[in-house]
Amino acid sequence: MIEVSEGFGRNALIKKGLALEATPVNINNLKLQNKHAEKVAEENLEAAKEMAEKVKDWKVETTLKSGEGGRTFGSVSAKEIAEAVEKQYHEKIDKKKIHLPEPIRSLGVHEVTLKLHPQVTATLRVHVGEKN
């Protein structure tokens, strides 16, 4: 809440829908909205912590084509990892939450960081095998 001149408030802010008059009803509605937003934020944080606990034991399997000498063709991207998680563990993880500095281009086990919430990160193990 801020205090502005009466003319500016009535003729510009309220008229354009950018502000409301500070009546007792509007102040109470604002308090209720803030409480609800805090509750939703807390629920999101708890859900992210639960997902981080689940993810720490997971090992996602995926494959890459490879040729002679273990040389690989193509790479594994965040989208493919998200699809593999959904297929193997029936959990949705947004590909935007999977942090890959660069796509995975080698066989073996790789650790991938998941940014589930601004305060919660988790590590997911991705095993890249050879496709026949």
Task: Tell me the average pLDDT across 63-81.
Answer: 86
> Which residues are registered as beta bridge partners of 98?
114
Q: What is the mean pLDDT of the chain?
A: 91
* 35 vs 105, higher pLDDT: 35
Record the pTM.
0.74
pLDDT at 69 over 80: no
70/76 Cα distance (integer angstroms)? 15
pLDDT number for residue 110: 93
Per-residue pLDDT reduced to its tens digit, 77-129: 999 999 999 999 999 999 999 999 888 988 899 999 999 999 999 999 999 98
pLDDT band for position 27 (cuts 50, 70, 90): very high
Distance, CA of 41 to CA of 51 (rounded, Å): 15
Give the pair of three-digit tokens for residue 128: 């890249």
Q: Which position has the higher pLDDT, 56 or 36?
A: 36
- List 112's β-bridge partners, or say none: 124
pLDDT-derived band at 131 (thresholds 50, 70, 90) equals confident
User: How many other CB atoms are there within 10 angstroms of residue 106's CB atom?
Assistant: 13
